[in-house]
């Protein structure tokens, strides 16, 4: 029986919330972690080598090979839609690759020490919001001034991006998850891809886009969703050096024991290779070969991702269905075609309260504001829902709590505004 989406009886909602609290739930929708079922899809990894530690004349066990195995570079190239010779293979965290890329720009410079971003009055970095909290943490750590840019359904608002880049020579970089973005599920349109490629011609020398394609093949649709190639667009625009492409197998194989990949134009790549050569003797080639054997070609990769989708899609569907049943007309949300997240916007000023109410009822949500630089959502409206890790039943239960908490927060707000005549609106459009 669908909930009544028009009635917001405060007493009834307080009572419902009290009932939920009394159930002693312990559910968690905080992080985009693969579920055990998803991880099990790659359980063949340990032992897949069958004792064969040589490949193409390379002893996988020994030191060396800062670029990674040629076969692993091809796997990365397949994920990132770039040429294999532009790829470096890293450890289990693409975040670390991004940290090093941002560190090089910030402290070492793409064209020698004199070009380090810290030689400018300030280092400004464009942050599409809502965005990925760990990007913002890297920028915070490196002392960047983060400039929020609105994220739309087809990528960042490029009018805003272009205008800031044109006006402010201190703009040094932009973070971006281009496909099934964290957390809104946005997919950059062909036009946005072309305009991102053009940024290298508009921005000051040294500008870099961190194109974090974390969900490149993580579609929930029957057919793969193909994006325009940013690499090709950059080649056409003559801006290959202006983008650093990143991806990983964290949400393909083992979240904590996969491979990361970085790709860039020849000069940027040489600078990064030189930097990484001072930092490490080389990546784990044994684990690279495991991954190449598990995912030898695009067909194997696609088939593997279909199995992931079969496990995630019902949870995303349950999340969206709960929102539709309980919050239609009261809030808005995304219906992602891939990735790991559903974004929910409460009426302004309620996100923190909803997260607190859910915690009281035993459902952990990502802190309100987490998808914004320094954790500050100016509307206090956005909540990131991450339904991949819990079981389907847990997702349904958790979403019942979330919906009740949003409705309760709205009812409380309305009650406190009673007589002011203020209208309550869903969050920013």
Q: Tell me which residues touch a second copy (CB under 8 A).
A: 31, 33-34, 36, 39, 42-43, 45-51, 53, 59-65, 91-93, 95-96, 99, 103, 107-108, 134, 137-138, 140-141, 250, 254-257, 275, 278-287, 290
Burial of 20 (0-12, 13-18, 19+ CB in 10 A): buried
As measured in angstroms, the least distance from the Cβ of 49 to a second copy is: 5
Yes or no: say if 179 and 225 are a contact pair by the CB < 8 Å rule: yes
DSSP letter (8 states) at residue 95: H
Please, which residue, 23 or 141, has the CB nearer to a second copy?
A: 141
As measured in angstroms, the least distance from the Cβ of 323 to a second copy is: 26
Backbone angles phi, psi at 4, to 5 degrees: -80, 110
As measured in angstroms, the least distance from the Cβ of 255 to a second copy is: 5
Instruction: Give residues with Cβ within 8 angstroms of 225, minimum separation 6.
Output: 179, 187, 219, 337, 338
Consecutive H or E run containing 305:
helix 298-327
Show the CA angle centred on residue 426, arms to residues 180 and 389, nearest 5°. Answer: 40
Consecutive H or E run containing 285:
helix 285-294
As measured in angstroms, the least distance from the Cβ of 283 to a second copy is: 7
As measured in angstroms, the least distance from the Cβ of 140 to a second copy is: 8
> What's the length of the chain?
429
Please, which residue, 106 or 240, has the CB nearer to a second copy?
A: 106
Yes or no: say if 114 and 352 are a contact pair by the CB < 8 Å rule: no
**Coil, strand or helix at 264:** coil
As measured in angstroms, the least distance from the Cβ of 60 to a second copy is: 7
As measured in angstroms, the least distance from the Cβ of 279 to a second copy is: 5
Please, which residue, 188 or 259, has the CB nearer to a second copy?
A: 259
Yes or no: say if 147 and 165 are a contact pair by the CB < 8 Å rule: no
Within 10 angstroms of residue 85's Cβ, the number of other Cβ atoms is 13
CA distance 260 to 245: 11
Please, which residue, 6 or 50, has the CB nearer to a second copy?
A: 50
Please, which residue, 256 or 378, has the CB nearer to a second copy?
A: 256
Chain centroid offset of residue 382 CA: 15
Please, which residue, 51 or 421, has the CB nearer to a second copy?
A: 51
Please, which residue, 65 or 83, has the CB nearer to a second copy?
A: 65
């Amino acid at each position: 029986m669908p909930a009544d989406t028009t009635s917001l009886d405060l007493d009834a909602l307080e009572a419902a919330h009290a009932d939920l609290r009394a159930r002693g739930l312990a559910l968690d929708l905080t992080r985009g972690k693969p579920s055990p079922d998803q991880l099990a899809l790659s359980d063949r990894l340990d032992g897949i080598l069958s004792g064969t530690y040589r490949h193409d004349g390379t002893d996988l066990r020994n030191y060396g090979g800062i670029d990674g195995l040629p076969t692993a570079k091809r796997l990365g190239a397949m994920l990132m839609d770039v040429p294999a010779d532009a790829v470096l293979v890293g450890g289990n965290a693409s975040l670390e690759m991004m940290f090093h890329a941002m560190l090089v720009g910030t402290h070492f410079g793409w064209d020698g020490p004199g070009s380090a971003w810290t030689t400018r009055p300030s280092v400004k970095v464009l942050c599409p919001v809502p965005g990925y909290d760990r990007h913002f943490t890297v920028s915070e750590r490196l002392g960047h001034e983060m400039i929020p840019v609105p994220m739309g359904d087809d990528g960042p608002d490029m009018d805003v991006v272009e205008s800031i880049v044109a006006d402010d020579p201190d703009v040094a970089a932009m973070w971006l998850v281009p496909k099934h973005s964290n957390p809104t599920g946005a997919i950059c349109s062909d036009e946005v891809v072309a305009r991102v490629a053009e940024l290298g011609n508009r921005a000051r020398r040294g500008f870099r886009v961190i194109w974090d394609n974390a969900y490149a093949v993580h579609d929930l649709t029957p057919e793969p969703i193909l994006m325009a190639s940013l690499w090709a667009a950059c080649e056409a625009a003559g801006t290959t050096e202006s983008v650093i492409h990143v991806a990983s197998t964290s949400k393909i194989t083992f979240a904590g024991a996969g491979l990361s990949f970085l790709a860039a134009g020849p000069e940027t790549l040489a600078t990064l290779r030189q930097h990484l050569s001072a930092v490490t003797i080389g990546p784990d080639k044994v684990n690279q070969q495991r991954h190449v054997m598990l995912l030898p070609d695009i067909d194997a990769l696609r088939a593997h991702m279909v199995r992931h989708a079969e496990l995630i899609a019902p949870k995303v569907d349950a999340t969206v269905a709960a929102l539709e049943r309980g919050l239609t007309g009261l809030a808005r949300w995304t219906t992602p075609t891939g990735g790991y997240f559903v974004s929910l916007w409460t009426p302004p000023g309620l996100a923190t309260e909803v997260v607190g109410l859910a915690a009281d009822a035993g459902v952990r949500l990502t802190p309100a504001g987490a998808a914004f630089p320094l954790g500050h959502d100016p509307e206090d409206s956005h909540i990131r829902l991450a339904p991949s890790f819990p079981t389907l039943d847990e997702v349904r239960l958790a979403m019942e709590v979330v919906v009740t908490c949003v409705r309760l927060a709205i009812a409380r707000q309305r009650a406190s505004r009673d007589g002011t005549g203020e209208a309550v609106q869903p969050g920013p459009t």
